[in-house]
Amino acid sequence: MQVASDRRYSQDHEWALLEADGRVRVGISDFAQDALGDIVYVELPEVGSSFGAGDSMCEVESTKSVSDVFAPLAGTVDGVNEALAERPEVLNADPYGEGWIAVLAPSEPAEYEQLMDAAAYERLTAGS
Distance CA 30, CA 25 (A): 15
Residue 92 inside a domain? The answer is yes
The pTM (predicted TM-score) of the whole model is: 0.94
CATH number of the domain that 101 lies in? 2.40.50.100
Q: What is the reported pLDDT for 81?
A: 98
Q: What's the mean pLDDT when you consider all of the chain?
A: 96
Residue 98 inside a domain? The answer is yes
Residues 6+ apart with CB under 8 A from 19: 25, 103
- Please give the helix or strand (H or E) that residue 91 lies within, else none: helix 90-93
Asked if 29 contacts 95 with a C-beta cutoff of 8 angstroms, the reply is yes
Q: What is the reported pLDDT for 128?
A: 62
CA 27-30-31 angle, 5° bins: 115
Residue 1 inside a domain? The answer is no
Residue 117 inside a domain? The answer is no
Q: Which domain holds residue 93?
A: 8-108
Residue 119 inside a domain? The answer is no
Residue 76 inside a domain? The answer is yes
- Please give the helix or strand (H or E) that residue 57 lies within, else none: strand 56-62
Distance CA 116, CA 83 (A): 28
Specify the number of domains making up the chain: 1
Residue 3 inside a domain? The answer is no
Q: What is the reported pLDDT for 35?
A: 94
Residue 24 inside a domain? The answer is yes
